[in-house]
Chain A
Amino acid sequence: MAGGRPGLGAAAADDELAFVTLMLGEQLCGVPVLCVRDVLADQTIARIPLAPSEVAGNLNLRGRIVTAIDLRERLRLPRRAPGTPAMSIVTEQGSELYALLVDQVSEVLTLRRSKMEPNPPTLPAIWAENSEGIYRLDQGLMVILSVDRLLQLDLAAVA
């Protein structure tokens, strides 16, 4: 565990949240570590015809079919250059597995819950919808992503 905090007692543990940090373009993001089942290196992804653009395709994770969601597409970021490897964070929702494709998965950070700040009102809507809050870190601002909301694709828009 990176960022262990000596001097904080057991009582303070409740106040601590662990995040897996990841990069999406230039943006540092985090997802709660409890949401993460697996972190995968670049995978073969079988694309699904007619699927919403956010759905990158299917991948085979030890015999289970995992639906891959490209977070760049999901958050309206420019597409990854072809051939650039992507990493994925596997998460489970309602007994279904989803892989969130990101540029890079970095480390696990333990941060104090109370340090999380609300989204600035000027945050673009697509980020505001999917962000739980912001941390100010030395290496920059980290957006905490809500996995649940990321997986709520706007089906009405694609149907």
Chain B
Amino acid sequence: MDDLIAEFLTETNESLAEADLALVKLERTPDDAATLSLIFRLVHTIKGTCGFLGLPRLERVAHAAENVLGKLRDRELVATTAVVTPVLAALDRIKLIVAGLGATGTEPQGDDSAVIAALERAADGEPPAAALESVAGAEAEPNEAPPADAPTSDVAVGSQTIRVSVEVLEELMTLVGELVLTRNQLMQISRAEGTNAFTAPLQRLSHITSDLQEGVMKTRMQPIGNAWNKLPRLVRDLAHETSKKIQLDMHGQDTELDRQVLELMRDPLTHMVRNSADHGLETPDVRRAAGKSETGKITLNAYHEGGHILIEIADDGYGLNVVKIREKVLSKGLATEAELAAMSEAEIKNFIFRAGFSTAAAITAISGRGVGMDVVRSNIERIGGTVELSSTLGQGTIFTIKIPLTLAIVSALIVRANGERFAIPQISVLELVRVGRDGAAKGQGMAIERIGTTPVLRLRDQLLPLVTLGELLRLERTDTEPVSATVVVTTVGSGMLGIVVDDVYDTEEIVVKPVAPILRHVTMFSGNTILGDGSVIMILDPNGVARSAGVSTSRNRREENERGFTSTRSDDGTALLVFRAGGEAAPRAVPLSLVARLEDIERSKIERSGGGFVTQYRGKLMPLVAMGEIAPPTDETESTQPVLVFADGERIMGLMVDMIVDVVHDRLNIELGSSRDGILGTAVVAGQAAEVLDTSYWLTQAWRDWFGNAQSAQTRKKRLLIVEDSDFFRQLLVPALAAQGFEVTAAGSAAEALRLRDAGLELDAIISDIEMPDMNGIEFARCVREGGPWASLPMIALSGRASPADEARGREAGFTDYCHKFERETLMESLKQCLNEQVLM
């Protein structure tokens, strides 16, 4: 049966019962204006609805009755039995028709002329035809044929739906919640007690409770279409205002979800559709130019998936323009260029969900969306949902919202941290990973690694930021620290976060209770609940946890935090080659820009010569240097040897490594202080500690052995000092200069350089950066020139800015020459000149 008809039947049956009572009352108190207008309204409504639904027979009868009632109301008639009887007869007839309608879905056939004639006579104030009673009765006889089971049918219609106030349902839900808790409690006791006389009835009780819970939940379910029904109008109006052609397709309107969730979803959904129409779709001419159909399409789709509802809002408009979002992010100061450089496109697109990303006017000018998308996201997250987006430039954008079916009772994972238990809603849990604590179980399974003090987990191809629940909640450890832990991998926003807990117990259906107002500021909890054993535990909100831990959904927030304990850092993301060498498991890294080529050289082609190895490479002999112990080249198991080729001008050398692991794009944060030869220090590369190669060391290893001896015998190497705050440039320059036969010392700051001077370091020349924190190059030059052993040394300024004015300023401060940072050739030329001049002096 049509939903509308069913609803009409319910409503009409209620109205008729009410009208019956009122009419009888009216007969006794004909002057009761209130009762009269009540009846009039009821019949009027029935008439109106019939007309709307196309039920002509009902409409005619109701219309005739309404006429009489109208005259009664206007005091043209007095409510005597003569007047009321035909109205009651009309109501009976309406009931009859309604019953037929309920049984068959269509109006039954029949003749209502006698009833209508009686009503007309009553309306005209004429005495009723004596035969009316019998006519009405006689009429009813044949008509009763189709709905012969009128009374039962009536009952059926009446019981199909009843109206229950929302409060009653809420109350029921609360009671069921309590029942579920008590059931859980009983089951727990029962499990502990073992099998006894209560076991079987308890099992039944448990099943019935589950069924009851499901049943009561169903009463609260409403089709999502209820939240969508205003959208066609909204889209139509928007299309009109923006002169666009928009088609709105809706699928899965019947998908049901809890009305509380539905209410909370209504605004975000409206907002997102409005966004799609307003900013996502192009105007017809733009679409035509892009080879699309003039009419833009917005598609809403809702469906169930594993206890959740998925809602997709898709448009076939512009799509998100990463370039423009990037500009916007920079102009709003939401991230630095370097941070953006390290982000994937998906991460950049997610900026539209960031607070402060956009205002309506500004966003319209760029590509898209973002009008309060942060609000949309936080609203969705508030009900334990997530929102993801995927977008292809020129093809459109799809938002996918995942929300729980209901808020009242959720499935949650019970975990333990430092002896306390917590619940984590299942919806945000992706997987559980058992790990060894801080490499305790190295080699067997996965282990937590640390970068500085930040724990991370390598999970397949991703690096998962971790928070240790106990530490985050500042729980004292009362029990002994277990050797293994479990990482609960959760989705937060569009990213992932691993929550490290000591143990995972079980999943349990929990009844979410809000936290007391005095605890609202603790945003890490979304509520609390009572477990089966009667204990009260807190429900964790993974999004709140992520915020509290300072982990944003993208990686870079974490790196921002790291800035606190790394003293120096380069400004730019760098492509780094990660490899293993010397038979050690720890990865090594070298800036990819320093590596000329990666080669696999056949072992048979590697020859021993003098104290080292050489191979023929592109028609030349290339020295090969091994890092640490390497397997003898005659080893048959591996026929090729991976080699990193470093080249500088005419000279090349190969560094033999065990394995090339990866090329990653990351910032190079070297924590200086390695005492090992050939290692600059340790840096965090792709979230893992890696030793960064001191290329200069390995280059000189090759050249000293193969070419360098003769050279160094002739002249003492010139000693250079490089003062440069950027690790990256320092690292770039040191090997480059070393390759030219200089002995290079590096200092990370002017102050460090001055300390070296005071420590008695002897030099031939100084190369200094200009832009440095604390003491800049200009000040440093003045300081050097003021006196001391370095006062007369040639000084070359290196700067990203090399305007004539800058150069003049540099020379004035005491620099001998001024070079642009990126021009290596100029620097070499300048050095040669300076040093020769000095020799001449």
* Cβ-based interface call for B536 (8 A): yes
Q: When A50-B522, A51-B522, A63-B182 are in contact, do A98 and B534 touch as well, CB less than 8 Å?
A: no
Q: Are B530 and A49 in contact (CB under 8 A)?
A: no
* Cβ-based interface call for A26 (8 A): no
A30 → B minimal CB distance (Å) = 23
CB closest residue in chain B, given A62:
B178
Residue count of chain B within 8 Å CB distance of chain A: 24
Q: When A46-B536, A50-B474 are in contact, do A60 and B518 touch as well, CB less than 8 Å?
A: no
Q: Are A153 and B518 in contact (CB under 8 A)?
A: yes
Contacts of A57 in B (CB 8 A): 536
CA distance in complex: A63, B534 (Å)? 8
* Cβ-based interface call for A58 (8 A): yes
Contacts of A49 in B (CB 8 A): 420, 473-475, 522, 524, 538
Select A48's contact among B178, B517, B535, B538, beta carbons within 8 Å.
Answer: B538
Q: Are A63 and B521 in contact (CB under 8 A)?
A: no
Q: Are A94 and B536 in contact (CB under 8 A)?
A: no
A16 → B minimal CB distance (Å) = 32
Those of A36-70 within 8 Å (CB) of chain B: 44, 46-52, 55, 57-60, 63, 65, 67
- For B485-517 the 0/1 string (1 means CB < 8 A from A) is 000000000000000000000000000010011
- For A64-102 the 0/1 string (1 means CB < 8 A from B) is 010100000000000000000000000000101010000
* Cβ-based interface call for A155 (8 A): yes
Q: Are A65 and B518 in contact (CB under 8 A)?
A: no
CA distance in complex: A96, B513 (Å)? 11
CA distance in complex: A159, B534 (Å)? 30
Contacts of A33 in B (CB 8 A): none
Q: Are A63 and B530 in contact (CB under 8 A)?
A: yes
CA distance in complex: A55, B521 (Å)? 13
Q: When A44-B535, A46-B536, A50-B474 are in contact, do A58 and B518 touch as well, CB less than 8 Å?
A: no
Contacts of A158 in B (CB 8 A): 521
Q: Are A63 and B522 in contact (CB under 8 A)?
A: no
Select A151's contact among B518, B528, B529, B538, beta carbons within 8 Å.
Answer: B518
Contacts of B525 in A (CB 8 A): 48
Contacts of A52 in B (CB 8 A): 518
* Cβ-based interface call for B36 (8 A): no
Which residue among B181, B522, B537 has the maximum number of chain A CB atoms within 10 Å of its CB? Answer: B522
Select B536's contact among A51, A65, A98, A159, beta carbons within 8 Å.
Answer: A65
B416 → A minimal CB distance (Å) = 13
CA distance in complex: A158, B521 (Å)? 9
Those of B80-133 within 8 Å (CB) of chain A: none
Q: Which residues of A contact B (CB under 8 A)?
A: 44, 46-52, 55, 57-60, 63, 65, 67, 94, 96, 98, 151, 153, 155, 158-159
* 10 additional A-B residue pairs with CB within 8 Å, beyond A52-B518, A57-B536: A46-B536, A48-B538, A49-B420, A49-B473, A55-B518, A59-B536, A63-B178, A63-B181, A65-B513, A67-B519
16 cross-chain CB contacts under 8 A: A46-B535, A46-B536, A48-B519, A48-B522, A49-B474, A49-B524, A49-B538, A50-B524, A58-B536, A60-B530, A60-B535, A63-B181, A65-B513, A67-B518, A67-B519, A96-B517
